[in-house]
Amino acid sequence: MGWLNAVIQGLLLGGLYALFATGLSLMFGVMRIVNLAHGDLAVVASFLALALVSGTGLPLWIVLVVTVPLFAVLGYLTQRVLLQRSLSSGPLATLLVTFGLSIVLQNVLLEVFSADTRTIDGGSFGTGSFELNGSISIGYLSLATFLLACAVLAAIQLFLSRTGLGRMLRASSDDRETANLVGADSRHVYGIATAIAFATVALAGLMFAMRSSFDPATGPSRLIFAFEAVVIGGLGSLWGTLLGGMVLGVTQSLGAQIDPALTLLAGHLVFLAVLAFRPQGLIAGRTA
């Protein structure tokens, strides 16, 4: 029965991975940017929340309501000021800029918050759980995280398929020039995509912070999770990303069941296997 429990915990974690990976997938789908600072942004959100909680004593949900929109605005600005400029100098430049951003963020965090490992205390909600038939216990926090992640993914999916701007995001990802031709200002469209990516990253970062500990150097390994979820699921498909996140979560969870040291390795190996035998991902993607 330990195995079934591991699968369920993995699925719940996978929802969070998917939420976290969505921004990476969206930015790549729409702008062909691989944001190497993706993981560090989540860690920045974690630290920001930590500072707000301990500095102001505000309840967590208010912190969340403040942080997520703030990150959306930051995302829009980052794209307009930094990334847009790099887009015109070719793919290498975007990679270098986001990599540089990653180094800057990590080391600023290190200077400001030191290298200590932190967690955000989610109170009784963070540690509480309910029992499902004796051997399976589901944490309130991981269930809430999972549900919230699914809700956000569904909302993004609705935005992309039902609104004019959302359609234009997908259209730009297919063919930027023709999107311009029907009236899309690609800078604005890209800004929106980045804003959504940053907002989801912030949300995911807060949830990670309540579930597990973090320090300024946690970002890169988080980025790898997101990347693996995206590639396993299939580039440019939101549902693929959800599936990819869950596959990754379950794999890690099962790996940990065998030997805790295998957690990461199991995930990486599944990723490499997908790469080797099904490089288009489990769900061959349409678009972001």
Q: Does 286 bind another protein (CB under 8 A)?
A: yes
Q: Which segments of 79-218 does DSSP mark as H helices, in order?
A: 84-87, 91-113, 123-127, 140-162, 164-174, 176-181, 186-211
What token pair was written down for 231? 């590639």
Count of residues engaged in binding another protein, rule: CB under 8 A: 68
DSSP 83: I
Cα R_g (the chain), whole angstroms: 19
Secondary structure (3-state) at 133: coil
Q: Does 247 bind another protein (CB under 8 A)?
A: no
CB nearer another protein, residue 60 or residue 223: 223
Q: Does 77 bind another protein (CB under 8 A)?
A: no
Q: Does 271 bind another protein (CB under 8 A)?
A: yes
Stretch that binds another protein, among 49-57, 69-77, 123-131, 260-268 (CB under 8 A): 260-268
**CA–CA gap between residue 252 and residue 216 (Å, rounded):** 23
Least spacing, CB of residue 166 vs another protein, in Å? 10
**CA–CA gap between residue 285 and residue 274 (Å, rounded):** 14
CB nearer another protein, residue 43 or residue 64: 43
Residues 162-221 touching another protein, rule: CB under 8 A, are 164, 167-168, 170-171, 173-175, 177-186, 220-221
Candidates 101, 48, 52; CA nearest to 71 is: 48
Instruction: Name the CA dihedral angle for 82, 88, 93, 95, rounded to a multiple of 10 degrees.
Output: 70
Residues 116-155 touching another protein, rule: CB under 8 A, are none
What token pair was written down for 225? 């999770």
CB nearer another protein, residue 120 or residue 193: 193
Candidates 204, 205, 212; CA nearest to 139 is: 212
Q: Does 33 bind another protein (CB under 8 A)?
A: yes
Q: Which residue in 2, 57, 61, 92 binds another protein (CB under 8 A)?
A: 92
Q: Does 284 bind another protein (CB under 8 A)?
A: no
CB nearer another protein, residue 36 or residue 152: 36
Instruction: Name the CA dihedral angle for 152, 167, 37, 282, rounded to a multiple of 10 degrees.
Output: 70
Stretch that binds another protein, among 53-61, 67-75, 123-131, 272-280 (CB under 8 A): 272-280
Written as one string, the DSSP assignment of 90-127 is -HHHHHHHHHHHHHHHHHHHHHHH-S--B----HHHHH
What token pair was written down for 5? 């429990």
Stretch that binds another protein, among 51-59, 80-88, 131-139, 204-212 (CB under 8 A): 80-88
Q: Which residue in 22, 46, 86, 241 binds another protein (CB under 8 A)?
A: 86
**Which residues form the interface with another protein (CB under 8 A)?**
28, 32-34, 36, 82, 85-86, 88-97, 99-104, 106-108, 110-111, 161, 164, 167-168, 170-171, 173-175, 177-186, 220-221, 223-224, 227-228, 231, 235, 261, 264-265, 268-269, 271-272, 275-276, 279, 286-287
